Amino acid sequence: TICYSVGLRVSELINLKINDIDSNRMLIKINNAKGKKDRIVPLSMNVLLLLREYYKQYKPKEYLFNDQFELQYSIKSCQNIYKKYISSELSIHNLRHCCFTHLLENCTDISIIQKIAGHQNPKTTQIYTHISQNLLNKVQLPV
Strands (E), the chain: 21-22, 27-30, 39-42
How far apart, in whole angstroms, are the C-alpha atoms of residue 114 and residue 120? 8
* Residue 8 to residue 30: CA distance in whole angstroms: 9
Phi, then psi, of 19 in degrees rounded to 5: -70, -10
The reply to whether 96 belongs to the active site is yes
Please pick, among 17, 39, 93, 102, the residue that the annotation labels catalytic: 93
Query: Catalytic annotation on 34?
Result: yes
Query: Which residue of the set 34, 37, 52, 130 is catalytic?
Result: 34
- Per the annotation, the verdict on 9 as an active-site residue is yes
List, by residue number, the catalytic residues.
9, 34, 93, 96, 119, 128
